[in-house]
A and B are shown apart, each in its own frame.
Chain A
Amino acid sequence: MALQTMQTLPGAVDYIRILPEVVLSLFGMLVMFLDPILDERRSQRTLGGIALAGAIAALAATLYQAQPQYWGLGFWEMVRVDPFSIFFHFVVAASAILVILSSYEYMEVQQIRAGEYYALILFGAVGMNLMSSAVELVLIFIALEISSISTYILAGFRRRSAISSESSVKYFLLGSFATAFFLYGVALMFGATGSTSIARISASLAEYAGGHGPLLAYLGVALMFVGLGFKVAAAPFHVWTPDVYEGAPSPVVGFMSTAPKAAVFAVLLRIMFEAKTPDAARVWLIWVAAALSMTIGNIAALVQDNVKRLLAYSSIAHAGYLLVAIASLPANGIPAAMFYTASYAAMNIGAFAVVGHFAGAGERYVTLEDYSGLGRRSPGLAAILTVFLLSLIGIPITGGFFAKFYVFSAALQGNHPLVGLVVIGVLNSAIAAYYYLRIIVVMYMREPRTDAPVSPIPAGLGIALALSLAVTIYLGVLPGRVLEYAGRSVDLLH
C-alpha cells in the first residue's frame, strides 16, 4: 500500500495542500536573496515589506486551501489538509503578520540587521504550518526542527547583548535535547505499532483489547510528550523559558510564545487524539504537567520584577491551562484548546509588542519600575497593554475569558470530570490576577518616571496593536463563530 502510493508522483492538488508552506519558503528565499543586494542601511523597510507580503500571501494561500475540494491527504499521506490544520495555519500566518508589523520599528531602534531576521520568521512559519498539517511522525519531527532552529537563531538576534546570546545558546542546547526525546519517542512508537503514520498508528493501537496499548506505546507517548512539553514550556520542562524570553528580542518572544506553541499543540492534539493513544497515558501524564505548569508558572510570576520574565512565567501558566483542555474529552477539549491558542496568540503578541516598543534601544526599560506612571506618559500604550493584561487574567469581554471558560468547562464534561484539575486551575487564575494587576497598578497608580522616555507609536506597531486588540475583543464578545468552526473541525478529524 505504502509502496504503491510512493510510485505515483504528487499531482497539482498535492502542492495546493502545502501551498502556504511553499509561499512562505519562496518569500523567505526572496528576502535572503535581496538582503546582500540592497543597500544595508535602507534595506530594512523593503525586506520587512516583502516579508509582510509573504505572510499575507500565506494567509491568502490558507484561505484558498480552505475550500473543501482541497481537503484531504497529500504527498504520500504525509500531510493532511482539514479544517483543523487550516485553523492552525491561520493562527501561524496571522501571528507572523503581527510580529513582522511590530518588528518594523523595533529593528531600527535595536539596530538589528533585517535580512535574516525576517527570513527566519518566514521559515519558522513554514515549520509551524507543516507541523499542524503533518500526519506522519517523521515529517512532524522535521517540521518541528525547522521551526525550532529558526527560533533558536531568532532568540539570539540582539547580538550586542550578552543575555540574548545566552538565551540563544541555552535554548539551542536544551531544545536539541528535547527534540532528541521526541525522536526517541517516535522510534519507540514505530517499534510498538510498525508505522510512523498517525492513521496507521491509530488503527494498530485500536486492535489492542480494552484500549490498552503495549507498554512500548506508553513509553513512546511519554517521550514524545517530553519533547513537545519542552517546546510549549510546560512544567517540568519549563526551566529554559524565563532566561530565553528575557534575552530574546521582544517581538520574537511574542512570536515564539504563540505560533510555535499553537503548532506544537496541534501536534499534541493529533498524537493524543487522532492517533488514539491510550486515555490513561494521556490523562495522567497531562494532568500532572498541567497542574505543575499552572502552579509553578503563576507562583514564580508573582515575584518577578522584570516584565519579560513575568510574562515568561505567565506563558508557562498558560501552557498549563491549555494542557487542561488536552486532558479533557476530545469532543470539548480540542475546540477549547484551539480557541485558546488563537486568543492567546492575539493577546500575548500584543503584550510583547508593547513591551518591545517600550523597552527602547538595547531593551533597557523592562523592569516593573520602568513602567511607573506609563498611564500618564503614554496613555494609549498603557490602555492597550491593560486590555491585553486583563485578557491574560481572563476578565470578560476579552478573548482570554472565554478561552479559560471553554477549557475549564471542557474539563468538567463527561463521566470522569477533572474536578481537581479545574479547582487547581481556577485557584491559579485567581493568583495570576495579582501579578498582572501589579503591572496595571504600577502603570496607573505610581508617579511617572521621567528618565524612561516613550516614543510615539509608529504606524506598523499601531496596526499590529489595533489588529491584536480587535481579535482579543472580538473573541471576547462574539466567540461563537470561532468555537463553532473549531468544533466542526474536530468532527472531521479521524
Chain B
Amino acid sequence: MNWLDKNILSFVTFVPAAGALLLLFFPRRDRDIKLFSLVISLLSFVVSLHLPAHFNRNQAGFQFDKNIPWIPTPNIHYHMGIDGISLWLVVLTTFLTPLCVLISWKSIHERVKEFFILLLVLETAMIGVFVALDLFLFYFFWEATLIPMALLIGMYGHERRVYAAVKFFLYTMIASVFMLAAILWLYANTTPHTFDFVAVQNAIQQGQLPNLPGAARWLFFGFFVAFAVKVPLFPFHTWLPDAHVEAPTAGSVLLAGVLLKMGTYGLLRFNLGLFPQQSRANASWIAALALIGIVYGALVAMVQPNMKKLIAYSSISHLGFVVLGIFSFTQAGLNGATFVMLAHGISTGALFMLAGILYERRHTYEISEFGGLATPMPTYSTFFLFIVLASVGLPLLNGFVGEFLVLSGAFQTKMWWGIVGATGVIWSACYLLWMYQRVFFGVVKHEENNLLPDLNLRERVALWPTAVVALAMGVAPLLWLNAIDPAVHNALAVFPQYVTQVVGR
C-alpha cells in the first residue's frame, strides 16, 4: 500500500480541522472567510474522492487502514479504516459541507468567523466518526460532533435556540455515557486490553471474553441507547424537531444529512458487529419501534403547519426505514438501509436547504404563509418538486432504491414488517405532496409573496449537485451498491448461524 493510501483518511478527516485552525487567525473579513471555508470544504471533498476512486470493491473488510499507537495507558490506537458502508458516508459528509457553506453565505451575517470554524470542526468530527476503528477514537469523535453542533444551533438558530441546543446536547450526551460504559467494559475484559474494534470483534467471535454472556445484554443496550437517541428512534426522538426547527439551515442540513446517520451507522457497525446474538434477540421490538417511527413520524409530519418541522418528522419516518432494514438481517435489508442513509442525506439535506432559502426571503416556515409560489419562483418550485419526488421514493430517483431494498428485506424476515413499512412510503407521498400543493399551487395568497425573487446563481450552484446526485443514485444505484454489498455481506457473515435462524423463521 502506498503512502497516500495509508494516510488518505487522516487527510480527509483533518483537512477541515486544519482549515478551521487557520481560520482562527484570519482577520474578520467576512467575504474572505467564506471563500476560504468554501475552498477548504471543496478541497476535502476532492481529497475524499480518492476513496471511491481507489476503493477495492471486491474486497470485504477495512481498507485504507492506518493503525498506530496513540496513548499507551490505556491502550488507545489511532486506528482508521473504511469499508463499503463508511466509504459513502464519508463522501456524503464532504459532499454536503461545501453546500452548507454556500447556503450560509447570506444568512449568516454576524459572528461569521465562528460559524465557519464550527462548521469545519464539525465536519472533521463527523468524518472521524465514520472512519474511526478504535472504540475510544470513535467515542472521541462522537462526542466531538456534539459541541460544534450545539453551538451552531444555540448561536445561530431561531427564537427558541437555546432551549433546543441544550436539549440536543443533554439528550445525546447522557445517552452516550452508556456507550462509554460499554466501551470501557469491553476494554477491561479483553486480554490484552484493547479498544481496537477489529480485535474486540475477533475476541467476541472466538469466545475469548469469559464474562460476556452475562454482560452482553447490557453492553448491547449501552450502545443501543446512544445510537437510538441519535437516529432518533421512537420514543427517543423528541429532541429532533426542536433542534431542526431552531437550527440554522446549514445546521439542519448536517444534522439530518449526517448526524442522524451516525446513529444508524453505529447500530450497523457496533450493535450488529459486536453483539449479533443480542441483536437477533432484540430485533423484534427494535423493528417494532422502527415501524412505529415510520408511521408515527409520517402521521405527525402530515399535520405540521411548519415546513421545517414537517421535514424533521419526515426524517424520523425515513430513518425508521434504515433501522428496519438493519434489523431485518438480510442482504437486501442492509444494503437498502445503507442506501437510504445516503439517499436521505442528499434529499433531506436538499429539502432543508430549500426551506432555508425560503426562510431567507420571508423569515417564516409557516406553510400557511405561502401558496402559489410556483408563479413567482418557477425555478425554485422545480427544484423543490424534484427533491420532493426523490424523497417520496419515485422510481428512478434515489429514495426509491433504498426503500425498495429495505422493504424487500423486511418482507423476507417477517411479512407484517414489510406491510406496515410499505405504508410509510404512501404516507410520505401524502405529507410531502400535500405540503407541496399548499405551498406552490393555486393563486398567490399573500401579497408579499408575489415579489419573492427566484433562485440566484449561488443557490442554484448549491442545489444542482443534490439534484444530479439524486438522479444518478436512482438511475445507477449499482455504482454505490457494488461497494456497499461486500461490506454488508461481511457484516452478515460474522454471524451466519443467527441469520439463518431469522431468515428461516
Contacts and interface: CB of A to CB of B under 8 A. Distances in A.
Given A445-B155, A484-B73, A430 B173 contact: yes
Given A441-B166, A444-B151, A487-B73, A430 B139 contact: no
Contacts of A487: 73
B143 A396 contact: yes
Contacts of B144: 396-397
Interface string B273-294: 0000000000000000000000
Interface in B7-56: none
Interface string B161-191: 1100110011001100100010010001000
Interface stretch (A71-79, A84-92, A475-483): A475-483
Contact of A426 (B72, B143, B165, B177): B177
Contact of A376 (B72, B111, B143): B111
B139 A396 contact: yes
Contacts of A304: none
A480 B73 contact: yes
B147 interface: yes
A479 B71 contact: yes
A433 B143 CA distance: 13
A284 interface: no
Nearest to B177: A430
B140 A397 contact: yes
A409 B184 CA distance: 8
Contacts of A479: 71
Interface in B139-153: 139-140, 143-144, 147, 151
B154 interface: yes
B114 A375 contact: yes
Nearest to A335: B73
A395 interface: yes
Interface string A129-156: 0000000000000000000000000000
A15 interface: no
A444 B151 CA distance: 8
Contacts of A375: 111, 114, 155
Nearest to B136: A396
A479 B174 CA distance: 25
B179 to A, nearest CB: 12
**Taking each of A409, A445, A487, which has the highest tally of chain B beta carbons within 10 Å of its own beta carbon?**
A445
B73 A441 contact: no
A396 B74 CA distance: 14
Interface string B67-111: 000011110000000000000000000000000000000000011
B242 to A, nearest CB: 14
B111 A430 contact: no
Contacts of B71: 478-480
B114 A437 contact: no
A420 interface: no
A441 B154 contact: yes
Contact of A430 (B72, B113, B154, B174): B174
Given A379-B114, A430-B174, A445-B154, A395 B147 contact: yes
A62 B361 CA distance: 65
A300 B140 CA distance: 29
B184 A480 contact: no
A433 B146 CA distance: 13
A214 B151 CA distance: 57
B147 A390 contact: yes
B181 A426 contact: yes
A396 B111 contact: no
Contacts of A434: 170
A441 B174 contact: no
Contact of B143 (A395, A441, A478): A395
B140 A437 contact: no
Interface in A373-429: 375-376, 379, 390, 395-397, 405, 409, 412, 426, 429
Contacts of B181: 426
B336 to A, nearest CB: 34
Given A445-B155, A445-B165, A480 B72 contact: yes
A376 to B, nearest CB: 7
B23 to A, nearest CB: 12
A441 B147 contact: no
Contacts of A437: 166, 169
B170 A396 contact: no
Contacts of A426: 177, 181
Nearest to B74: A409
Nearest to B178: A426
**Taking each of A390, A444, A446, which has the highest tally of chain B beta carbons within 10 Å of its own beta carbon?**
A444
Contacts of B154: 441, 444-445
B152 to A, nearest CB: 10
Contacts of B166: 437, 441
A430 B180 CA distance: 12
A426 B182 CA distance: 13
Contacts of B177: 426, 429-430
A375 B188 CA distance: 41
Contact of B188 (A376, A412, A433, A483): A412
B146 to A, nearest CB: 8
A231 B72 CA distance: 34
A375 B161 CA distance: 16
A277 to B, nearest CB: 27
Contacts of A409: 74, 184, 188
Contacts of A397: 140, 144
Given A412-B188, A487-B73, A441 B165 contact: yes
Nearest to B142: A396
Interface string A426-457: 10011001100100010011100000000000
A446 B147 CA distance: 17
Interface in B174-220: 174, 177, 181, 184, 188
A309 B184 CA distance: 34
A445 B111 CA distance: 12
Given A409-B184, A437-B166, 17 more contacts: A375-B111, A375-B155, A376-B110, A376-B111, A395-B147, A396-B139, A396-B143, A409-B74, A412-B184, A426-B177, A433-B170, A433-B173, A441-B165, A441-B166, A444-B151, A480-B71, A480-B73
24 contacts: A375-B114, A379-B111, A379-B113, A379-B114, A395-B147, A396-B140, A396-B143, A409-B184, A426-B177, A429-B177, A430-B177, A441-B154, A441-B166, A444-B151, A444-B154, A444-B155, A445-B154, A445-B155, A445-B162, A446-B162, A478-B71, A480-B71, A480-B72, A483-B73
Interface of B: 71-74, 110-111, 113-114, 139-140, 143-144, 147, 151, 154-155, 161-162, 165-166, 169-170, 173-174, 177, 181, 184, 188
9 closest pairs, A vs B, by CB? Answer: A445-B154, A396-B140, A445-B162, A480-B72, A480-B71, A444-B155, A396-B143, A483-B73, A430-B174
